[in-house]
Amino acid sequence: MGIRGVLKQSLSNLAHAANSTTSEEWYHLWSIGIYTGPSPLALTPAPGITNPVLTRDDVTDVCALMVADPFMIKAGGSWYMFFELYNRKSHGEIGCAVSQDGLKWTYQCVVLAERYHLSYPYVFEWMGDYYMVPESVRAHEVRLYRARRFPDQWDCVGTLLSGYGYADSSILHYEDRWWMFTESSQGRSDTLRLFSASDLLMPWQEHPRSPLVEWNPHIARPAGRIVTIEGRPVRFAQNCSPKYGTEVRAFEVTELSVTTYAERPMAQNPILGPSGSGWNRHGMHHLDAHLLEDGQWIACADGWTSVPSLHDNGTSRR
């Protein structure tokens, strides 16, 4: 997801705190909530439920340090949510939860784990199949997975990009072409690149205007699913300065072709940010919004709050 570096530091903090007599070290605790509204740009916590709807304590098959990067999809009349869970014994893995109404969620299990860190499970349906593009920076590849049995069995069916550390890759099918927005700075969260292909498994070409953003951690890193509003794509970006995962901003893509690109910030920026209390007190950095039949939107989002590492080493939870 992009919080691998934060987790690495937090794990280091845990080790330090175990040998410390103070609680000066702090840990970023991520959880997942549900938002609704008339537009992806005007979302509020969903009424009738208590956020967060998923926390690390809902994970039952491994000891999770946090859950984040949620993506939803509706299949067979039910909602499924895929997200990063950070397995305390290894690294990031992909978990799954299910819901009948998109509001109340039940954790299922880990559905995808590799020998390297996984996060940001960008899931989508295409031509009757379900696909996922999880972040796999440590593998130095952007890999495409297809569900052999949805939602819990996935096979890698191809490599879209390789040889570089691409983060939070976000895919869009628009005007008969595939587009991929991805962050490439390998840690600074300040460089956004754009690639395209005529087919998912055809060679991907970098756009002549790429990188679209350089040296700007406020607007470069993708922050969830790209949506289309009134015929135009809208991309979401994390504000990663002065702290990682502070808020989510929106940008309308006004020109998108194999030779041109232009965008403009949406007037409602930021559209999500720290609440000042509770589970998302200190920041939010991800959004996946879906249009419902009644014209309203439903979205899953994540947020974080700082907790003392000394009292949060996970040993009391399992």
Give the CATH number of the domain where residue 116 resides. Answer: 2.115.10.20
Give the three-state DSSP class for 238. Answer: strand
Angle among Cα 95, 79, 151 to the nearest 5 degrees reads: 45
CA 70 – CA 48 distance, rounded (Å): 20
Unique residue bearing structure tokens 């305390």: 88
Q: Give yes or no for a contact between 298 and 35, defined as CB atoms under 8 angstroms apart.
A: yes
Structural domain range at position 292: 4-311
Number of domains the chain contains = 1
| Residues shown for the chain | 318
Per-residue pLDDT of the chain (318 residues), as tens digits, is 555 554 444 443 433 333 333 435 788 999 999 999 999 999 999 999 999 999 999 999 999 999 999 999 999 999 999 999 999 999 999 999 999 999 999 999 999 999 999 999 999 999 999 999 999 999 999 999 999 999 999 999 999 999 889 999 999 999 999 999 999 998 899 999 999 999 999 999 999 999 999 999 999 999 999 999 999 999 999 999 999 999 999 999 999 999 999 999 998 889 999 999 999 999 999 999 999 999 999 999 999 999 987 444 444 343
CA 2 – CA 40 distance, rounded (Å): 22
Q: Is residue 318 part of a domain?
A: no
Q: Is residue 317 part of a domain?
A: no
Q: Which sign, positive or negative, has the C-alpha torsion 65, 100, 133, 252?
A: negative
Q: Is residue 288 part of a domain?
A: yes
Q: What is the pTM of this model?
A: 0.91
Q: Is residue 316 part of a domain?
A: no
Q: Is residue 164 part of a domain?
A: yes
Say which DSSP state 222 is in.
B
